[in-house]
């Protein structure tokens, strides 16, 4: 948006007219969403950021909603109970088709939690007031927010990286449970396929080198997962802000189509994060099952 305002200033300098005043106001008053979350207070010396507040609100809201919905279970579900049962059953059926029944039983609690939390955190960030309510100072062009009270949870790289690192820890636990330490090492460095003689020695050296590349790839997974989710949500929030200020007289109307798009993006990003983590888990746990079947034959 700042770049747009600067371009309009150049245009206004050439053409003059009412565009000059509007462009100057946009360039002077608009502040884009900062890359980092803002500290809004401290608890026992621990810094509290505006994205942490949203994280707690979403988590508490989901817990309370689930408890209320499942408090009085009915044989024929209705209302909120029907919604939660539909959501959980749909997620379980979907994951079971991707990673198999045995692995779904072991890991469903994690993948379902990740999907539900990311989805509702993404949607919460679209509520009017998130990013526009907080502390500020009177300015030349009106009151300017300098410290927003709320910020989208997944628009904070710290949050997305924390979720990715939790998955990395769980992935390691599941990999060791499925393969054992020896099987885990063989999965990374062991030769695949049948070979004999000099070719077997060559393949061992090749797969040792491939194993180190695989370790590098695994180490970068938390980074790629966190930046993918953060980048999409952060860009979406900036886009909505830019659309709201593009035509001041229609600031309430222009962003509406983009809000519907961001609702869809919220679902897609939650699904992508869950699917990638599930597939990564399947790839490391499937190795042991395949070897077991081969030994039986």
Listed by start position, the domains of the chain span 51-296
Query: What size, in residues, is the chain?
Result: 297
Contact 154, 233 (CB under 8 A): yes
* DSSP class of 44: T
* DSSP class of 153: G
* Per-residue pLDDT at 241: 82
3-state secondary structure of 39: strand
Other CB atoms closer than 10 Å to residue 155's CB: what's the count? 29
d(CA 188, CA 206): 12
* Per-residue pLDDT at 197: 61
Q: Which two tokens stand for residue 48?
A: 């509290």
pTM: 0.81
Angle, in degrees to the nearest 10, between helices 50-69 and 101-124: 120
How does pLDDT run along the chain (297 residues), one tens digit per residue? 334 333 333 333 333 444 344 334 443 444 567 888 999 999 988 999 999 999 999 999 999 999 999 888 888 888 899 999 999 999 999 999 999 999 999 999 999 999 999 999 999 999 988 888 888 888 766 677 788 899 999 999 999 999 999 999 999 999 999 999 988 888 888 766 666 667 666 777 877 888 888 899 999 999 999 999 999 999 998 888 888 878 777 777 888 888 899 999 999 999 999 999 999 999 999 854 444 444 444
Q: Which two tokens stand for residue 91?
A: 């997620």
Residue with tokens 């080198």: 209
- E strand spans, 20-133: 39-43, 46-49
* Per-residue pLDDT at 27: 39
Residue with tokens 């009270």: 149
* Per-residue pLDDT at 97: 95
Contacts of 83 (CB under 8 A, 6+ apart): 69
Q: Per-residue b/e over 112-141, b at no fewer than 16 CB within 10 Å? A: bebbbbbbbbbbbbbeeebbeebeeeeeee
């Amino acid at each position: 948006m700042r770049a747009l305002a600067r371009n309009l200033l150049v245009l206004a300098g050439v053409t003059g007219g009412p565009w000059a005043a509007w462009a100057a106001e946009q360039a002077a008053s608009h502040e884009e969403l900062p890359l980092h979350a803002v500290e809004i207070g401290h608890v026992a010396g621990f810094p509290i950021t505006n994205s942490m507040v949203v994280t707690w609100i979403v988590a508490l809201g989901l817990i309370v909603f689930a408890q209320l919905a499942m408090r009085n279970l009915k044989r024929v579900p209705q209302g909120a109970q029907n919604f939660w049962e539909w959501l959980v059953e749909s997620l379980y059926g979907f994951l079971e088709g991707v990673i198999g029944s045995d692995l779904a039983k072991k890991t469903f609690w994690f993948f379902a939690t990740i999907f539900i939390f990311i989805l509702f955190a993404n949607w919460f960030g679209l509520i009017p007031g998130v990013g526009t309510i907080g502390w500020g100072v009177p300015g030349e062009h009106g009151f300017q927010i300098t410290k927003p009270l709320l910020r989208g949870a997944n628009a904070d790289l710290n949050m997305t990286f924390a979720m990715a690192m939790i998955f990395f820890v769980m992935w390691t636990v599941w990999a060791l449970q499925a393969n054992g330490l020896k099987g885990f090492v063989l999965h990374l460095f062991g030769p695949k396929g049948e070979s004999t003689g000099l070719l077997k020695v060559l393949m061992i050296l090749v797969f040792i080198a491939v194993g180190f590349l695989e370790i590098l790839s695994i180490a970068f997974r938390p980074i790629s997962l966190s930046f993918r989710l953060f980048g999409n949500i952060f860009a979406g929030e900036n886009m909505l802000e830019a659309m709201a200020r593009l035509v001041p007289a229609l600031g309430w109307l222009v962003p509406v189509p983009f809000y519907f798009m961001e609702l869809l993006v919220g679902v897609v990003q939650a699904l992508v994060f869950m699917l990638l983590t599930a597939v990564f888990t399947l790839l490391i746990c499937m190795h042991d099952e395949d070897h077991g079947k081969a030994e039986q034959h």
